[in-house]
Amino acid sequence: MIHPIDPLYNQHSRLLILGSFPSVKSRESGFYYGNPQNRFWDVLRKLLGCEKPLSINEKKEMLLHHGIAIWDVIKSCDIIGSSDSSIENGIPNDIQSIIEASSITKIYANGNKAFELYTKYVFPQTKIPIVLLPSTSPANARMSLEHLVEVWAKNFQ
């Protein structure tokens, strides 16, 4: 499977949030965190004090307005459905190119798999440490939205 969604960033982006690889719903919608049960957009709107963005354009506008870039660690892999644990034969995206074209100084992993993949494949090139944040995925249902926001708020700056 080849990653079908372009990274979102501009020269003013200073924070980069990385997932592992787009879910089936995200691949279908053509943008990140497209599963309605994924709490990514709810967490960010609470952290940023914004209304929840509904359209892809609103999501892009909110992220760029706040200096946030998003992408995924993996460019291509073998994956079953949306299961991070099934990812095999991963080839990383060129994260360094975004860093060079922006003002990124902090990188965050949305979940353990993104953290693990970044640490293995990307950190040796960027030398920028990644901050592990709990996944906003519906697979992380044991963590409430309120707890996710609380943990993200402590680490996301």
Q: Where are the domains of the chain?
A: 15-155
The DSSP code sequence of 37-58 is T--HHHHHHHHHT-PPP-SHHH
Tokens 């965190």 correspond to what residue?
Answer: 33
**Sequential pLDDT tens for the chain (157 residues):** 999 999 999 999 999 999 999 999 999 999 999 999 999 999 999 999 999 999 999 999 999 999 999 999 999 998 988 887 888 899 999 999 999 999 999 999 999 999 999 999 999 999 999 999 999 999 898 999 999 999 999 998 7
Q: What is the pLDDT of residue 45?
A: 97
Q: How many Cα atoms within 13 Å fall on the side-chain side of residue 75? A: 7
| 89, 78 contact by CB (below 8 A) | yes
- Domain 15-155 in CATH 3.40.980.10? The answer is no
Alpha carbons 42 and 46: distance in angstroms, whole number: 6
